[in-house]
Amino acid sequence: MQAPPPVSTQRAHGEFRKIRVMQLSYGHALYGAERWVLMLAKHLDEARVETVVACIRDADTLELPLIDEARRLGFKTSVIDGTRRLLWSSVRGLRAALKEQRIDVLHTHGVRQDFVGLAATVGLHCATLSTPHGWEVRTALKERVRTAVNKLCLSGFEAIAPLSEGLLEDLRGYPISTSKVHLIGNGVDLSEVEGAQPASGSPVGGFPEGAFVVGYIGRLVAGKGVDLLLRALAFQKDPSWGCLLIGEGPEQKALERLAADLDIKSRVAFLGYRPDRLSFLKRFDLFVLPSYSEGTPRCVMEALAAGVPCAGSAIPGIEKVIHDGVTGDTFPAGDPARLAEVIATVRTNREEASRKAAAGRALVYDVYSARAMAQAYEKLFETLVAKRG
């Protein structure tokens, strides 16, 4: 018997139409999860999936860089007005948008988005899917409780798609049916990496000519361990190095004070959020991710795809792409002395570091393309819509 046509080509309400998917994410910045949403949208088959990029705008927030970038890329967008303290206003606004735009699948990203999305879809003919991008670690009790409640909330979704085995493991012990969980590995937009030109100007970051540039790209939050990187750099005996930190977050002031206390302030540049982060990435001599918890980190995959030597904490998500001694170097999470040794080794043996970087680049190109990831999501979207009839 011939297989039925894909859901996107079946007749719905008397007409043929694509599956309509709303990607609901945090819209007030462009960090890992937000860039991931745009990457997924870019690589979905437009003949099968129609994407709407959405976010919740708090009453006192005007700038929405995720929405601005989505519009620049040509995607439909939806801004849900609400307030952070009164979630019901966000629920009401999202529910109206889902009905008006006839959304088939609501795909949420983030704790608040999960809560609001699940409440807004009650009674609607709209499938629900959540992709966890990671939960903060080393945080206050209030945040840990919030994370635990979020994991319980996920049990109400029709499907959950963690990005890595580490995130999948984080869900164990919670009342979530295994039939709902679909492990879809993270991916990287190779065309975006290839198209970025190295940052112009020499020396980069205002450091002396020939300085060894160590870099980090990501949020400045406790769980990322950026303080560990600064402490490791303070061990370096040869002062001809510079450190570029690209990103924003609540830990920035504390990190600036730490750099001053370690007497390395003049060699650490805080660049803040940079839309041209990949251009700076290509000027790094070493990319470091000293996190305590990660999924499969896209920032590391981007660095490897760009041919930049990488070092990261020896935790499951990072070890998925940095195979110690093969595609880069790992060190025990929270160990600045060991990280200092890794940095010193890379500095003194650039040829070996380049060999590992080339192996890492090959791994990313062979296994972690964004298109392969998007194809897996297309199949999941169709499965969810088919179940809804």
CATH code for the domain of 180: 3.40.50.2000
2 found inside a domain: no
pLDDT digits (tens, 9 = 90+) for 147-165: 788 888 899 999 999 988 8
309 and 286 fall within a common domain: yes
Find all residues with CB under 8 Å of 141, minimum gap 6, and list them.
Answer: none
pLDDT of residue 61: 64
150 and 281 fall within a common domain: no
144 found inside a domain: yes
116 and 227 fall within a common domain: no
260 found inside a domain: yes
Report how far residue 120's alpha carbon sits from residue 114's, in angstroms, rounded to the nearest whole number.
10
132 and 179 fall within a common domain: yes
Supply the DSSP symbol for 188.
Answer: B
In which band, very low, low, confident or very high, does the pLDDT at 1 lie, cut at 50, 70 and 90? very low
1 found inside a domain: no
**226-237 mean pLDDT:** 96
> Number of structural domains, the chain?
2
362 and 375 fall within a common domain: no
84 and 206 fall within a common domain: no
220 and 87 fall within a common domain: no
Question: Could you tell me the residue range of the domain that residue 269 belongs to?
Answer: 191-367
pLDDT digits (tens, 9 = 90+) for 61-103: 678 999 999 999 999 999 998 776 667 889 999 999 999 999 9
Phi, psi of 216 (to 5 degrees): -140, 140
181 and 211 fall within a common domain: no
Q: Which helix (H) or strand (E) holds 231?
A: helix 226-233
pLDDT digits (tens, 9 = 90+) for 333-348: 999 999 999 999 999 9
180 and 195 fall within a common domain: no
pLDDT of residue 145: 78
74 found inside a domain: yes
230 and 334 fall within a common domain: yes
Q: What is the mean pLDDT of the chain?
A: 90
Find all residues with CB under 8 Å of 269, minimum gap 6, and list them.
Answer: 205, 206, 207, 242, 243, 244, 245
72 found inside a domain: yes
13 or 227, which is more confident? 227
329 and 380 fall within a common domain: no
237 found inside a domain: yes
Question: From residue 370, how far is each of 35, 101, 128, 168, 219 by CA, in Å?
Answer: 12, 27, 22, 20, 22
323 and 261 fall within a common domain: yes
